[in-house]
Amino acid sequence: MRKTEHPQIIAVDLFCGVGGLTYGLQSAGVSVRLGVDIDPDCAHPIEKNSKAVFLQADVASLDPNIVAGVFEGAKVSLLAGCAPCQPFSTYSRAAKQKHGDAAGDNRSKDWRLVEHFGNLIEQVQPDLVTMENVPPLAQQPIFDLFLKKLKGYWVDWRVVECQTIGLPQTRKRLVLVASRLGPINIPEFEKPLRTVQSVIGDLPELTAGGQDPKDPLHRASKLSSVNLKRIRHSVPGGTWRDWPEALRSSCHLKETGATYPSVYGRMRWDAPAPTITTQCFGYGNGRFGHPQQDRAISLREASMLQGFPKGYSFLPDEKSASFDKLGRLIGNAVPVKLGEVIGELFFEHVAKYRSPDTKH
């Protein structure tokens, strides 16, 4: 059940996406007033599932007065954001090594969004700041530049193992918090481990290519005849090595040293899921096979493993939306539980350093 919102912390969520961070912060009691994203598809999930207003805008050219206006009269202001992480991802760095800087982290438009986020912090001077991103960002010069823009703030950051915050995923995220109110620290989280079964175990059964008539998101992608044979030979937590040799792909038989152990795998009921990606609906794209049924996980299952509630609405017409489009929205989302624990951390911090009667 979502906790009652408290107006003590007023927030703006930059790069809000479909609202994972917004929903998590609101679950903790933060009043998120504005969600900003360049993607118009994010309007529906933000305004349908939260109390925030959506603004379609490029953060690179966002007027700081808009953000400052939202914070006017706030007792405590919070500027939150997760800039697109593609420039810092493992895939992008591998592409750079293979194809040169033009294919990797060459200070592209996305790369500089972290810098634009820092510029807004300098211009607006919110009481609190949080940023979430992929761990490799911490090794990049742009991260050092971002930290320099937090002059006058107490800052802490660390890589968080998301299963330790109660998310049923083995996902690692860089989390940064900053405050003008006083010293702030990210604790060692020790939430109880949540398993795949505890989250999606009660959903209706599906076949590959099937759909739940009551839920347009609870649908599974089709499988070719060979992939149906493969998944029937797959065991929870196993790899393609569990298959008969006749079912193995040619790339698995090459003596190149590249074994691709993380594809064509089944999840385990008794463990967290792997990192949910934008291609999580595809059996051959990772360990995205259902633990028991002969199919990949459904879009609804993917969203629930990201922490979204069962009835969360991502698009106004989800029935006709493609797997690729919905997978992109779900896989790129900030896990809801991460937003919730960040919100709880900030409330504990504010209670320590700011009187309830103090105004911004």
Rounded to whole angstroms, the Cα distance separating 330 from 168 reads 15
Cα 262 from chain centroid? 20
Is 42 among the residues known to form the active site?
Answer: no
Q: Which two tokens stand for residue 13?
A: 């969520």
DSSP result, 318-359: TTTS-HHHHHHHHHTSPPHHHHHHHHHHHHHHHHHH--TT--
What is the rounded CA–CA span in Å between residue 333 and residue 218?
18
Catalytic residue (one of 16, 42, 82, 85): 85
* Encoded tokens for 311: 């009835």
HSE-CB of 118 using CA atoms within 13 angstroms: 17
**Rounded to whole angstroms, how far apart are CA atoms 220 and 295?**
7
Q: How far apart are CA 296 and CA 136, in angstroms?
A: 29
Whether 279 and 299 have beta carbons less than 8 Å apart is answered as no
Measured CA to CA, the distance from residue 203 to residue 291 in angstroms comes to: 13
The DSSP call for residue 163 is G
| Active site residues per annotation | 85
